[in-house]
Amino acid sequence: MLIQDTVLPAGTKQRGIAFFRRLKESGINEIVTYATVYGYGQVATAWCCRAVGLLCTIFLPETFPRTRMTRDALKLGASIVDIGPDNGYPTGSILALKARNYAQKETDRRMIELGLDDPDFIQALSEGIIAAKDNIHPQRIWVAGGSGVLARALAKAFPEAELHIVQVGRKIYPDVLAGIKYTLYTSPEAFRSNAEIIPPYKSLRHYDAKIWRFVRKYGQDGDYIWNVK
C-alpha cells in the first residue's frame, strides 16, 4: 500500500502545521533553521511559516545554481542565508552554530534543528498524521530517514507498527530511534545522488525513491510505503 503525500504542497511534514500555529500564538515572529540544499524540510518549513504568518530564515550551504527545493522555499517567502566554504563544505554543525547565533539576537525568533527536529513538532506531526490516517492499521511501514523526525512521528501515530527505515542522508544513531520498533537499511547512493532504482510511482529521486530497492527485496504483502513527497 502506498501513502502518497505528493498530493500535499509541502509533503508529509506540513501535517505538523499546528506546531507553527502555536508558536505564532505564543508571540514568536520568526522561525530560524538550517538544512541541506537537497532536503525537502526547507520547503515544508517555508510553507508552514507562510501559512500561519511567520517569517522564515534558513541557513544553507552556498550552492549555485540553487536546487529545486531551495527555489521552492524562496518562492514560499523564505529568506535564505548562504554559508560559503571555510576549509571545506560547511558541515551541519557550522550551519547550526550560525543559525543559532542569529536566532539568539531577538527574543521573538525560534531556532529549530535540522529537519524540524523538535519534540513539540514531532508531537504535532503525529497528531496530524492520526487525524488523516483514515482508519488504517499498518503492521509494517517503509519510510526514508534523514533526521528521523518522520519515523518518530509515525511511531507515535502507529505504535503497533514496525518501521523499516532507509537511511538516505546523515547517519541515524540508535539513540534517535530509542523505543521504536524498527529495522534500519542504508541507501548505497550518496544523498546528493538520485536513486538508481526508480519506483513505479511519483517520488523524490534523491530521497523517498531510494526506499524502493529495499521494498523489492525485503517487502511483504500488506506493507505500507510512506512517500513523503
pTM summary value: 0.94
Supply the range of the domain harboring residue 195: 123-227
Percent of the chain residues topping a pLDDT of 90:
89
CA dist., res. 165 & res. 159, Å (int): 15
Percent of the chain residues topping a pLDDT of 70:
99
Number of domains in the chain: 2
Domain-embedded: residue 92? yes
- Of 53, 84, 116, the one marking the end of a domain is 116
Per residue in 145-171, pLDDT (tens digit) is: 999 999 999 999 999 999 999 999 889
Is 16 in the same domain as 97? yes
Is 111 in the same domain as 130? no
- Of 97, 116, 135, the one marking the end of a domain is 116
- Answer positive or negative: Cα dihedral of 197, 201, 202, 203: negative
Domain-embedded: residue 65? yes
- Please say whether the beta carbons of 121 and 149 come within 8 A: yes
- Answer positive or negative: Cα dihedral of 33, 38, 41, 45: positive
Task: Find the range with the poorest average confidence among 18-27, 157-166, 186-195, 211-220.
Answer: 186-195
- Measure Cα distances from 3 to 26, 108, 141, 204 in Å: 33, 36, 10, 14
Look up residue 99 and give its three cell numbers. 543559525
Is 100 in the same domain as 59? yes
Highest mean pLDDT out of 2-11, 47-56, 85-94: 47-56
- Of 68, 86, 116, the one marking the end of a domain is 116
Is 18 in the same domain as 102? yes
Per residue in 65-113, pLDDT (tens digit) is: 999 999 999 999 999 999 998 766 788 899 999 999 999 999 999 999 9
Domain-embedded: residue 51? yes
Which of the pair, 89 or 5, is modelled with greater confidence? 5
